[in-house]
Amino acid sequence: MKDNNIETYYDKCIEFMEQIKNPILKECCQIIYKDFKEKLINKPATTGSHHFFKGGLLYHIYCVTRNAIAICNLYPDLEIDLDLVIFGGLLHDIGKTNDFYDFIENSDNVKNKGNSAVLLGHSYEGVHIVENYLSNYNIDDQFKNQVIHTIGSHMNEYSEWGALVMPKMLEVIVINFADNIDSHIEPAHPIIKQANKGEVYKINNAPREYYKSLNPFYNLQR
């Protein structure tokens, strides 16, 4: 992903929103994206573990939503609510918009320690943002809790940066795994071409090391 086409991914996220059938969720998501556009297209997704580049936050959000929709399509009989999956996918990390400085090349000026997400965590901050926007609509209270649950539980673990509560809906389980796939695979992109077969390599503070296959046949054309 190159910096100069991040706007393309913003447009693709807007296209995902078009698939949301519930008019309140669709409009709420559209307004949040309008209000947070500058932050989404300028911030990294993390301080180095994945998507550490300008617009990395938005690109990661696009990939997670894309992955989540694909997972739902693999399980058509489960009646997973695609509205919640798309809404939750597009907004799962919206709390990070208050977490970091905008990405500046060759700078370590990334963490914004004074902002609320640093003090409260991006799951809480995301819940806070989405709940504020949803308060403008006449929406069933329990359903609103389900919508917010997709943000607050998406990390699927209790930790410093983790979930407020464990996932209790299939929609969040899908979002969590879609998120995990993307955050573990993306860091390999810049280095995978140069890495030698059989060589262990580590990328920034990515969550794990990678070890390239020794199979002499694996990269032959299929």
Q: Contact positions toward Fe ion, by CB under 5 A?
A: 93, 179
Report the residue number, 24 or 187, with the smaller CB distance to Fe ion.
Answer: 187
Report the residue number, 28 or 61, with the smaller CB distance to Fe ion.
Answer: 61
Report the residue number, 24 or 99, with the smaller CB distance to Fe ion.
Answer: 99
Question: Which sign, positive or negative, has the C-alpha torsion 14, 20, 21, 24?
Answer: negative
As measured in angstroms, the least distance from the Cβ of 186 to Fe ion is 10
Report the residue number, 82 or 94, with the smaller CB distance to Fe ion.
Answer: 94
Count the Cβ atoms, other than its own, within 10 Å of residue 29.
Answer: 25
Tokens of 7: 């706007």
As measured in angstroms, the least distance from the Cβ of 213 to Fe ion is 27
User: What are 111's strand-pairing partners?
Assistant: 100
Distance of CA 147 to the CA centre of its chain: 16
Using DSSP, state whether 190 is helix, strand or coil. coil
As measured in angstroms, the least distance from the Cβ of 216 to Fe ion is 36
As measured in angstroms, the least distance from the Cβ of 61 to Fe ion is 7
HSE at residue 148, side-chain half, CA atoms within 13 A, is 21
